[in-house]
Amino acid sequence: MAKILTPDICVIGGGAAGLSVAAGAAAFGVPVVLVEHGRMGGDCLNYGCVPSKALIAAAKHADAIRKAAEFGIASAEPIVDHEHLTARIQSVIEAIAPHDSAERFTSLGVEVIKETARFVDDRTVAAGDRMIRARRFVVATGSSPAIPPIPGLAETPFLTNETLFGLKRLPRHLLVIGAGAVGLEMAGAHRRLGADVTVVDSAAALSGQDPELAAIVLDGLRAEGMLLHERTVIRSAEQTETGIRLICENESGPFEIEGSDLLVAAGRAPNHGSLDLDAAGIRHCPKHVEVGADLRTSNRRVYAVGDAAGGLFTHQASYHARLVLQQILFRLPGRERTTIVPQVIFTAPELAQVGLTEERARESARGARTVRLDFSASDRARTDGLDRGLIKIVVGRRGRVLGAGIAGPGAGEMIGLWAFAVANRLTLRHFQTYVAPYPTLSEIGKQAAISYYSPMARNRLLRTAIRFLRNFG
């Protein structure tokens, strides 16, 4: 006979979103059951953010050795001990893993069940030999790599982000399907580590990003030797004696690309297929569970967060968790504001964006204008040899910050200030009292904000007032 559990909240999924909900509820003494059949920590810890950024960090060190002569230091082609690199990536994961472990959450008072969950009806979930009838359910099942329907791909050895970091050698020539964030991050890192890299995408690279900022990133990647085929259809894939062959076609005609290894980075697919959402009356589509702005599903007892609800980032998953908790625990309204969620692509250079882009502002924000400043205006950028970068601030009526985009080194760190401004509806006038430390890249944003008001210095009435005030000593 199945054991019946009646917690206040049942969380399905032990990734970033699910763990945030479980930990937050447990902190207030709320009974929580967490169901996770896979590795605790989800994609971010085990296959995504953590290992990818550890790899990018290694690539940055390799590139510094290669370019040291620019700073008067003997340069060399770096020698990569890929087995050691892989071990370091694993050690970083292992250092963070205890924070996300079943043992820690058990100590917080969460009952962790390592089983696959499925809905039995609109208020019951089965997990192994347990039946869970909670007051509220939170679906946080995450996503997995999407595999495109390319003829021959299923019979061809390929890597995804779930297997890439277990590779014990550096690919000789890495082929990458997908010129989005994951594809270009990994392509750029492997190129800096010394591999030849070719990227193929059926659309434009970094589609959906500000074109001017994206161009800076793509120019930087190409300058480091990465080959990029945009708007190119892959007709088939096959294994050869020496590696992988892709049969491609673009406006110039058909052509072939050969490499040693293949990485598929063509987007994500949700993991909710085994939940039997229909049994609970939960509407869903192939891309995500359907939710309202409050993240509640068509079943009023059930919320969906993170990748399951169409979220793209770990920090967005944490934001979702907060919105859901304030509704479940405190009966306070919670509505997602997608424009306040920043996004960062950790290429070299980086690309960061929050709020409206210049193009979106032209369509939806009457009277909006864009303030821009090149990195060359920054003394710190010059001392550090950062030769190209750009910040764009989208400004609405009365100087309100509607969005910001940055392409350049350190963009991911700098965007935080502008995310704060967008979330709190600040104006550029607030930045007049903000003192940026010198010399730092953060000054670029301050300088851009000041430039918005620079036309005031040429205002005839203002100049007349200043001349008048000078008469008083």
181 is in an annotated binding site: yes
Mean per-residue pLDDT over the chain, rounded: 94
292 labelled binding-site residue: no
Task: Please give the pLDDT value at position 422.
Answer: 97
- Compute the average pLDDT of residues 111-126: 97
- pLDDT, one tens digit per residue, over 234-262 is 999 999 999 999 999 999 999 999 999 99
Q: What percent of the chain has pLDDT over 90?
A: 89
Residue 126 to residues 8, 34, 352, 387, Cα–Cα distance (Å)? 16, 12, 41, 57
Closest to 48 measured CA to CA, from 322, 243, 306, 351: 306
DSSP state letters, 179-243: -SHHHHHHHHHHHHHT-EEEEE-SS-TTTTS-HHHHHHHHHHHHHTT-EEE-S-EEEEEEE-SSS
Q: Give CA–CA dist 194/78, Å, rounded.
A: 8
Q: Is residue 142 marked as binding?
A: yes
State residue 269's pLDDT score. Answer: 94
β-strand partners of 138: 11, 303
Q: Residue 267 annotated as binding?
A: yes
Summarised one tens digit per residue, pLDDT across range 15-70 is 999 999 999 999 999 999 999 999 999 999 999 999 999 999 999 999 999 999 99
pLDDT in tens, 167-222: 989 999 999 999 999 999 999 999 999 999 999 999 999 999 999 999 999 999 99
408: exposed, middle or buried (Cβ count in 10 Å: 0-12, 13-18, 19+)? buried
What integer pLDDT is reported at residue 450 of this predicted model? 83
Q: What does the chain come to in residues? A: 473
Question: What distance in Å separates the CA atoms of residue 61 and residue 51, rounded to the nearest whole number?
Answer: 16
Report how far residue 196's alpha carbon sits from residue 190's, in angstroms, rounded to the nearest whole number.
Answer: 8
Any binding-site annotation on 356?
no
Judge whether 185 is annotated as a binding position. yes
Give the per-residue pLDDT at 454.
Answer: 67
The CATH class given to the 340-458 domain equals alpha beta
Digit-coded pLDDT (tens) for 272-323: 999 999 999 999 998 999 999 999 999 999 999 999 999 989 999 999 999 9
- Reference 138, options 40, 58, 20; nearest CA is 20
Q: Closest Cα to residue 186, out of 52, 82, 60, 78?
A: 52
Ranges of CATH 3.30.390.30 domains, the chain: 340-458
Stretch 103-116: mean pLDDT:
97
Q: What is the pLDDT of residue 34?
A: 98
CATH 3.50.50.60 in the chain, residues? 3-144+269-339, 153-267
CA distance 348 to 343: 15
Cα separation, 109 vs 122, in Å, equals 26
Query: Could you tell me the pLDDT band of residue 362, with boundaries at 50, 70 and 90?
Result: confident
Q: How far apart are CA 81 and CA 170, in angstroms?
A: 9
Determine if residue 129 is labeled as part of a ligand binding site: no
- At 84-101, the pLDDT tens digits run 999 999 999 999 999 999
User: For domain 153-267, is the CATH number 3.50.50.60?
Assistant: yes
Residue 462 scores a pLDDT above 70: no
Q: Is 357 annotated as a binding residue?
A: no
The reply to whether 180 sits in an annotated binding site is yes
CA dist 237 and 231 (Å) reads 17
Does the predicted model carry a pTM greater than 0.75? yes
Residue 311 assigned as binding residue: no
Mean pLDDT of 388-416: 96
Q: What is the pLDDT of residue 446?
A: 87
Give the DSSP letter of residue 78: P
| Nearest alpha-carbon partner for 248 in 261, 258, 233, 260 | 233
184 is in an annotated binding site: yes
- Supply the pLDDT for residue 59: 98
Domain 3-144+269-339 has CATH 1.10.10.10: no
Q: Is residue 115 part of an annotated ligand binding site?
A: no
Would you say residue 142 has pLDDT above 80? yes
- Indicate the SS3 state at residue 82: helix
Enclosing H/E stretch for 464: helix 460-470
Q: Is residue 355 marked as binding?
A: no
Return d(Cα 422, Cα 142) in angstroms, integer.
27
179 vs 258: CA distance, rounded Å: 18
Annotated ligand binding at 259? The verdict is no
pLDDT value of position 405: 98
Question: Cβ neighbours of residue 240 under 8 Å, at least 6 residues apart?
Answer: 258
Q: In whole angstroms, what is the distance from residue 448 CA to residue 450 CA? A: 5
- pLDDT in the model for residue 457: 58
**Section 419-427 average pLDDT:** 97
Instruction: Tell me how far apart the alpha carbons of residues 352 and 345 are, in angstroms, rounded to a whole number.
Output: 6
Q: Which residues lie across from 261 on neighbouring strands?
A: 174
